[in-house]
Amino acid sequence: MSDKNAKASLLGEEASYPTKYTPELLQAIARVDSRVKLGKSLPPMSGVDIWTAYEVSWLTPQGKPQVAIARFVFSSASPAIIESKSFKYYLNSLNQHTFESQNTLQQTLESDLTAACGAPVGVQLFSIDEYEGIARLPGLCVDNLDAEQYAYQPSATLLRFSENTVVNDMFNSHLLKSNCPVTGQPDWASVWIRYSGLALQPQSFLAYVVSFRSHQDFHENCIERMFCDLWGSGKLNSLEVYALYTRRGGLDINPYRSSEELASQPPEVLLKLRIARQ
């Protein structure tokens, strides 16, 4: 599905919630449709998109409702992402469906999502009490600094680097805001980077994060643009970018991109971390 077609999908429409299990609700959006907008060849990049669903429910064969928190891991190499509203409607279609066991539900989720996005999807289910607690992102939070100027459309020219200081460093910010390209609704996030190379001036990273404030794109595409702009500076030897978007409709989306070829997921310390807004 192209971005144009996405506007004609569930994301931009009023629709009633399904009462029967309906995997056909899942709608895919080709990653290439947004990647061509970068206007350049993609740098070496691997990673995942981690979705967390806080409102998963189904019935046992005895008719007893069950609830869980689900984590879905999509490879950034998959041909497509899943449109978020269609994902929510799909999950709600499970509410009155009977599964023989939690394992059967997990297998069903893996099968349906893999078919929709075109690549294997990892699924984990957690009881409410066993899910991870809230913590802080590692590294320097740049939010208490101030930049020389602020703009509200992303521009790599805002990034400033030292010419002679080489570091291994981590920054984070809770000031990332972008906007849904279909509905225009704001998407709020915290972003974390870890890099090695010439030192990135933290005030310039702050200005760059803020510059997404009026930008319209999907979560995954915003983080790929951020990765491409940082890596495209030619100043870095390694780079990781991870964003933790606040939930909407019981789902949050957390894209991770890395210059490491074999990176399949964020470091364990990040994978188990939730920020207060999630």
Active site residues: 180, 187
DSSP letter for each residue of 195-231: EEEEEEPHHHHHHHHHTTTT-B--HHHHHHHHHHHHH
DSSP letter for each residue of the chain: --HHHHTTSGGGS--PPPSS--GGG--EEETHHHHGGG-SPPPS-EEEEEEEEEEEEEE-TTS-EEEEEEEEEEETTSSEEEPHHHHHHHHHTTTT-B-S-HHHHHHHHHHHHHHHHTS-EEEEEE-GGGS--B-PPSSEEGGGS--S---SS--GGG--EEEEEEEEEEEEEEEEEEE-TTT--EEEEEEEEEEEEEEEPHHHHHHHHHTTTT-B--HHHHHHHHHHHHHTTS-EEEEEEEEEEPPBTTEEEEEEEESSTT--S--HHHHT-B-TT-
